[in-house]
Chain A
């Protein structure tokens, strides 16, 4: 019996390897295109120094990253459905949740890969310039003093960029997962992309609400979350809320908590729901 179970596990590994390999061959052009564009943008901004390194990082791991997320999330299922290979895929002895998970995994790997390469390119550009850059994000604060993270960034630009990369990539993955699952229903890539743009704008607006609230409540806004202010509670439930790092209060000790909550709410829970064998809703949502 254990031998049987081991055989079954080996079989499942073979199936997974086949699924992932196919996804890589099918989606790699997205990875290459995304990597070239994002790396070029970040390296160019940091090398040319038309904006501060913090602003460049906010731009790349924020809006550009969100466009990349739409680019990676819209295609994998909808394009297969549009050219009818989806029907060929799901009649093989694989479950729909396996297919969905394999595509999700490949998307996340590509997203992380793109961000890692872009960050390396950014660091190289920064070092090649040889100048420590002063971040200038005063418009985020108005009359308030810059937060601890921004102040720290002025003396540690490379570490600051790496922190942005880590926090930003986790936040983007947290948005990638629900977006990818929602767009799995789309009939074709155009519809999926359009839906992705609308949903992403909605999430961004949501984050703006959180930022303005944080600004109005001053340096201790995380304390107001703890005392259950509904706006901040909503903001922490926003998949891209780790971007609030840029307006961090005097210390960023709350950041790990936000990241953990974010990963649980936006990655672990949705995937658990997909894997659960009784999730008929997923079957209905994804369809045949």
Chain B
């Protein structure tokens, strides 16, 4: 926690709502200056974790710190230093865009008026328009502006493109990338769609059923997880292999998604007729394999 290179530190965080265990011991470190994609299906606990990081709810057990501050001790300090943008953010519809920007600026000591004005121009927002009359895409761009205009060192984006049509989504992502690229801020970008964060992220953390099941650099993830297609010599006898994330058998052909290709290559080569086909996967397919893959290789 004393390591200043760690921007967000989460250690063994647990949280339950009623009978449901939402977080079952989440541990995660996000390095300063990195862009970390935070993936999980809807309802996996992404928002719960982010709410704890913002000091909006308390964990049952475990520790976390954001920018060196424990949100359960100084929630206001955390919120003043980070930029946060929620999914489907609803803002005061009766305010005008300029009014809302001015109003939010009062909460942040480090608010940069010049930056806010230039962001407003770049994002093509009209200061006199009512917030309630903005399109969904414009609303999310405004929320992004509000999250960035106080020059936060850490930016937390909670599924910002949820509910946007494809064009608005691409528009917003372009703004996110454009704004974050040369700012040097740490970004924690939660999403349920991998392909949209793939181009910007250094690292990916996958949250599934209340645990971080994978936290790795994007390149390593791509390098490590591959699909292997082979024709087995004996389709009835499947070997028990480590690292299989997904297994499908169709027309006498096996398709396995495997973590750590090299470790299973000898075993698979020995049971196949005519060699192996190793295929690269995109991150979406990798994510799918982790969260909905059928792990057991069926015997007979």
Chain A residue with Cβ nearest B92: A85
Chain B contacts to A: CB under 8 angstroms: 51, 54, 56-58, 75-77, 79-80, 84, 86, 88-95, 103-104, 106-109
Q: Using Cβ atoms and an 8 Å threshold, which residues of chain A touch B94?
A: 25-26
Q: Using Cβ atoms and an 8 Å threshold, which residues of chain B touch A212?
A: none
Chain A contacts to B: CB under 8 angstroms: 11, 14-15, 17-18, 21-22, 25-26, 83-85, 87-88, 90-95, 280, 288
In contact, B107 and A91 (Cβ under 8 angstroms): no
Q: Using Cβ atoms and an 8 Å threshold, which residues of chain A touch B108?
A: 93
Contact flag A17-B56 (CB < 8 Å), given A26-B94, A93-B80: no
Contact flag A87-B107 (CB < 8 Å), given A94-B76, A288-B51, A288-B56: no
Chain B residue with Cβ nearest A25: B94
Q: How far is the CA of A88 from the CA of B91 in the complex (A)?
A: 6
12 contacting pairs across A/B (C-beta < 8 A): A18-B106, A18-B107, A22-B92, A88-B86, A88-B89, A90-B56, A91-B56, A92-B79, A93-B79, A94-B107, A95-B75, A288-B56
Q: Using Cβ atoms and an 8 Å threshold, which residues of chain A touch B58?
A: 280
Q: Using Cβ atoms and an 8 Å threshold, which residues of chain B touch A84?
A: 88, 90
Q: Using Cβ atoms and an 8 Å threshold, which residues of chain B touch A288?
A: 51, 56-57
Q: How far is the CA of A54 from the CA of B121 in the complex (A)?
A: 62
Q: Using Cβ atoms and an 8 Å threshold, which residues of chain B touch A17?
A: 106
Q: Using Cβ atoms and an 8 Å threshold, which residues of chain A touch B107?
A: 15, 18, 92-94
Q: How far is the CB of B268 from chain A (nearest CB, A)?
A: 49
In contact, A85 and B80 (Cβ under 8 angstroms): no
Q: A26-B92, A91-B86, A93-B80 are in contact. List 6 more A-B contacts (CB 8 A).
A: A11-B109, A18-B106, A87-B86, A91-B56, A92-B104, A288-B57
Q: Using Cβ atoms and an 8 Å threshold, which residues of chain A touch B89?
A: 87-88
Q: How far is the CB of B50 from chain A (nearest CB, A)?
A: 10
In contact, B90 and A87 (Cβ under 8 angstroms): yes
In contact, B90 and A22 (Cβ under 8 angstroms): no
